[in-house]
Amino acid sequence: MNPPGGRYALCLQEVRLLAPNDPRHENPLLTGNNIAPAARLVTSPTLMWSDSMHLVDGIVGLASGGPPQDWLTTCDIDSGTVRLTWTEPQRVDRIWLFPPGQPVSPITDAMLIFSDGSMIPTGPIPNDPKQGLQIDFMPRLIEWLVLLITRSSPPNPFSTAGLSELAVFAAK
């Protein structure tokens, strides 16, 4: 029973402690199977406090309560581009796209363009950084790829579009 005018709250938390032999789950964005960090990255211009390297840093959304780890373009919200180029051809079969961890114009359509001449439309990217978009395709050998934002929904006239993370996975 609470005293008059008092407050009482109960907070339950669950923590699982791992034994030395328990399997550890690695962040798939930071494993060698994600080849995006090894690529040379070129993007359309970014906002002053944004950095294109955030696209391949393995961090989705906010970094431990710190500043946003997003790439946000200064281009028109329907024309931002990202290009990844590798020094050697890469065999890939999957791409993950994560929206920024801050309010921006949601990307409603984009196009993946590959050096082999193929293209894949992405459709809408979920506007929740905890729920990215996985794009699976038949393995292809590429030297570069371009993500072209073709449409986004502006919540206000000063909005920008961007991504929190872009991962490209080597085919197994």
CA–CA distances in Å: residue 13 to residues 9, 25, 37, 130, 152: 13, 21, 35, 21, 39
Enter the pTM of the model: 0.79
SS3 content of the chain, % helix, strand, coil (to 5): 5, 40, 55
Instruction: Give domain 29-170's CATH architecture.
Output: Sandwich (2.60)
**How far, in Å, CA of 156 to CA of 45, rounded?**
20
- Give the percent of the chain with pLDDT over 90: 37
Residue 115: its pLDDT value, please? Answer: 97
Checking if the pLDDT of 12 tops 60, the result is yes
Supply φ then ψ for residue 56, to 5 degrees: -130, 25
3 or 111, which is more confident: 111
Mean of the pLDDT values across residues 97-110? 82
Nearest to 95 by CA among 59, 150, 68, 56: 56
Residue with the bigger pLDDT between 142 and 108: it is: 142
Is the pLDDT reported for residue 96 higher than 80?
A: yes
For 71, the 3-state DSSP assignment is strand
Residue length of the chain? 172
